[in-house]
Amino acid sequence: MKRLLPVALFVGTLVPGAGFAQSQVMLEGVLDGGIRHDSGGTGPGGVTMGSGQRLPSRLTFSGIEDMGGGLKASFVLETGFLIDTGQGTANPAGAANGPLTFGRTSAVGIGSDDWGYVSLGRQYTPLWAVSAGGVNDPFGASWLGGIGTIYNATPRASNSVVYSYGYSARTMLLPAPRKGLGVAVMYGSPDTFAPAPSRAGQQLGFNVSYGDGTWWAGYGFHQTRGSNTDISAAAPVTDQPRLRQQTLAASYEFSFARLHLGLNSAKNDTTVDRRNWHVGANIPFGVHVVKLVYGRANDRTAANADFTSFQVGYEYNLSKRSSLYAGATLDSTNSSIGIVPFSNQAGGPFTMLPSNLLGTSADQILINDLAVNPLSHQAYLAVSRGRGPEAAPVLIRVKTDGQLEAVDLDKVKFSRGELPDAPIEGVVGQGNRQSNPRQESITDIAFLEDRVLIAGLSNEEFSSTLRAVPFPFKTVANGTSVEIYHGSHGRFETRAPVRTFVPFKVGNEAQLLAAYTCTPLVQFPIKQLEPGAKIKGKTIAELGNRNRPLDMVAIGTPPPGSTHCPAR
């Protein structure tokens, strides 16, 4: 199994601001800069200077007014920025970095410590308050990611109303309380209008926690329906899929350290099914603090994109407001797609764009084939998630309204057959002509009436092969060896594989039109495709050097039962 080992290391400084003394209106902030080195993985490596290596750089305006009788009103406006460029950080996802906006938090609240607080606006979710707080994650979902790398958890929700008990008037900024009972319930309005789906981007969530300072335990839940422009500026407005996320966590304070344990899960109706966990420790001694996290994300879908993360951090507190720090992480994955954090810092689930639908970057997605269902008119894409021999196959459905979804094949009935004469594994040829014939055992496939038509190579002397295998599969016999006349080469050939083909009819007889690499079009009668037979095709055209077809479509009426439908 291929192991991919991305490594990151950074050092930097942290300088938080202070509120104005004796003032009910406060200006706070974090200025964080560091130098980072990345290596391994599929992305670019090297040394970079960046902002927010330990905590995201930000400015926070907040205020609390005591109105008597314990009643308090409050507000928070928080904006993020990059100290290396001065730009505001993107919020929501898909928006470009640019002017400062209050995309981190913008909320107003009212309530009391005795009865709880109600806050409205864009604010942290109850799930995030349990998942990312210091009582669960030693890194607070910052530094090199903390649980933000391992968990699938939505940080923020726009258009939200939150009721909280056990927090304070600044509830919209706070993690779950370390002491006493903490409860939070949230509803996020979809805030969409016709013709958009009425529940596009709707969010619901709650948490409950309790601790006595020494021990703490908490549970959080969050549900999001699809996406809207408040969740992602790049995602389509849709009320599907429905994503559910949960976190169950606990920690205990020993004399030498606080130890942490957390479980997290996420599942939607199509492409996400994850079980994640982490253990961690926060070890203070004098002005020094060491932080540790080890966790694993288990992907239960066909993509099987599991990965583990080990993170270590060190902080030296220069004062109450300033510190020096360093950290390192080692991430490993069981596929070739690289490490993809599963928490979206903009506050929403994955969008329906192809790269986010598959949980990886666009350069790690390869579309191999396309077919259209002639009855539903839905298109299906055969996609590789990742590159190389460990790439995971995924089937994507393109619905008639343009929405994309992964097809769950776990419960699909299927029939399996094994080619009895596939080529032996191994590289043959020299230089640019090197190839592995085993990888060309199947080069194209189609369904016709009660048979599966397969093109590829075999281990026979005439290795170019066509097969017509009855379906459902019982046994798969040897294929039909095919011979063609190659006009450009001026000779007959038996080893060049068919690259793509399409069934069609001449009169009442089903034919197969096959295209080769260099580059004849050849006709074969399908009735001659018998196990062990040797047949000659009829070359009917020559497309010319480097004009190899990627695919072919029959224009008109295809043979009955063919999966190759007419172009529309």
CA within 13 Å, CB half, 324: 3
Looking at residue 128, its pLDDT comes to 94
Split at pLDDT 50, 70, 90, the class of 194 is: low
Q: Measuring CA to CA, how many Å separate 30 from each of 51, 56, 65, 79, 412?
A: 10, 7, 24, 11, 52
Q: Quick one: CA torsion of 542, 501, 369, 443, rounded to 10 degrees?
A: -90
What secondary structure does DSSP assign to 133-175, as a single string? STTT-TTTT-TT-THHHH-----EEEEEEEEEESS-TTGGGPP
DSSP state for residue 17 in the 8-state scheme = -
More confident residue, 116 or 229: 116
Residue 212: CB atoms within 10 Å: 10
Lowest-pLDDT choice from 131-135, 217-221, 263-267, 427-431: 427-431
More confident residue, 132 or 241: 132
Lowest-pLDDT choice from 45-54, 59-68, 172-181, 458-467: 45-54
| Residue 169 pLDDT exceeds 60 | yes
Angstrom distance (rounded) from CA 281 to CA 294: 9
Looking at residue 416, its pLDDT comes to 83
Domain spans of the chain, in order of start: 7-356, 437-568
- Contact between 6 and 336 under an 8 Å Cβ cutoff? The reply is no
Q: Highest-confidence range of 40-54, 170-184, 242-256, by mean pLDDT? A: 242-256
Angstrom distance (rounded) from CA 147 to CA 139: 8
| Residue 134 pLDDT exceeds 80 | yes
More confident residue, 319 or 461: 319
Looking at residue 18, its pLDDT comes to 46
Looking at residue 219, its pLDDT comes to 98
Split at pLDDT 50, 70, 90, the class of 83 is: confident
Looking at residue 111, its pLDDT comes to 94
Looking at residue 172, its pLDDT comes to 78
Mind listing the pLDDT tens digit for each residue in 517-542?
Answer: 778 889 999 999 999 899 998 888 88
CATH of domain 7-356: 2.40.160.10
What secondary structure does DSSP assign to 522-536, as a single string? EEEEGGG--TT-EEE
Residue 172: CB atoms within 10 Å: 28
Split at pLDDT 50, 70, 90, the class of 410 is: confident
Mind listing the pLDDT tens digit for each residue in 333-344?
Answer: 764 433 333 333
Q: Which tokens sit at 312?
A: 């270590």
Task: Compute the residue count for the chain.
Answer: 568
Angstrom distance (rounded) from CA 385 to CA 360: 8
Split at pLDDT 50, 70, 90, the class of 400 is: confident
CA within 13 Å, CB half, 441: 13
- Report the predicted TM-score, pTM, of the whole model to 2 decimal places: 0.60
Average pLDDT (408-432) is 79
| Residue 553 pLDDT exceeds 60 | yes
Average pLDDT (329-355) is 47
Split at pLDDT 50, 70, 90, the class of 268 is: confident
- Contact between 381 and 370 under an 8 Å Cβ cutoff? The reply is yes
Task: Give first-to-last CA distance, the chain, whole Å.
Answer: 43
Looking at residue 61, its pLDDT comes to 93
Split at pLDDT 50, 70, 90, the class of 121 is: very high
| Residue 36 pLDDT exceeds 80 | yes
CA within 13 Å, CB half, 524: 31
Split at pLDDT 50, 70, 90, the class of 20 is: very low
Split at pLDDT 50, 70, 90, the class of 455 is: very high
**DSSP H or E run through 130:** helix 126-131
Split at pLDDT 50, 70, 90, the class of 353 is: very low
| Residue 258 pLDDT exceeds 90 | yes
DSSP state for residue 320 in the 8-state scheme = S
More confident residue, 14 or 259: 259
Split at pLDDT 50, 70, 90, the class of 107 is: very high
Looking at residue 15, its pLDDT comes to 52
Report cis status (omega within 30 of 0) of the bond before 349: no
Angstrom distance (rounded) from CA 463 to CA 520: 18
Average pLDDT (477-505) is 82
| Residue 350 pLDDT exceeds 50 | no
- Contact between 227 and 206 under an 8 Å Cβ cutoff? The reply is no
CA angle 517, 384, 238 (to 5 degrees): 125
Angstrom distance (rounded) from CA 482 to CA 558: 23
| Residue 321 pLDDT exceeds 70 | yes
Residue 72: CB atoms within 10 Å: 20
Average model confidence (pLDDT) for the chain?
Answer: 81
Which residues, at least 6 apart from 232, have a Cβ–Cβ distance to it below 8 Å?
92, 93, 94, 344, 346, 348, 351
Longest dimension (CA), the chain: 98
| Residue 544 pLDDT exceeds 50 | yes
Split at pLDDT 50, 70, 90, the class of 110 is: very high
| Residue 567 pLDDT exceeds 50 | no
